[in-house]
Amino acid sequence: MNERKPERHIDVGSRIDGFVAHVASFREIEVFDFQPLPLKAHPNIVFTQADLMNDAGTEITDSLSCLHALEHFGLGRYNDPIDVNGHIKGVANLVRMVKPGGVFYLGVPISDRDEVRFNSERAFHPESVVNFEPIKSHMTLQRFDYVDDADGGLVVNADIKSTVAKRIKGCGIYTFIKTA
């Protein structure tokens, strides 16, 4: 992300004590989350409480991340409204937030099938993510990486088809560019 030097980076729902804190150590980062920010924020963290299953704005950023949050949308685990299509509504709003030519970093649990893990999260077949509307219509996959739960190894620039063939379970990390 830093290599691209975005004008504005927004993160949706990622852990404050992880990715967000690392980015805040060297630049401003805006955080949108359904939950209120639980602790005094770093001066480089600008917080907005927002429900991303509802519209958060159109073409407002050239760089957006959502790491291990989308899989919880609509499941009610974080006091959000229960909505079976929460993740689909969330994806639509996330894509809408990115300006043409902007980058969208998405990290979600991956599995050999789409599933809801009781009282926890969704997991997605790796190909399902690239086929979500409007990702399919407005984004180009630039890169797919994943962490394999079996050995904890990071696989960089992976081929989704070979990942599916290996029946990988883990964390898929997608980098998309908005085309239109």
Q: Where are the domains of the chain?
A: 2-178
Bigger pLDDT: 145 or 5? Answer: 145
Give the predicted TM-score (pTM) of the model.
0.93
pLDDT bin (cut points 50, 70, 90) of residue 2 is low
Rounded Cα distance, 75 and 127, in Å: 22
Helix, strand, coil % (nearest 5) of the chain?
A: 25, 35, 40
Phi, psi of 96 (to 5 degrees): -60, -30
pLDDT (0 to 100) of residue 162:
81
Whether pLDDT at 41 is above 90: no
Q: In the sheet that 154-155 helps form, which strands lie side by side, from edge to edge?
A: 45-49, 29-33, 9-12, 61-67, 98-110, 170-178, 139-148, 154-155
**Which segments within 68-160 are labelled E, that is strand?**
98-110, 115-117, 121-123, 139-148, 154-155
- 2-178: CATH class: alpha beta
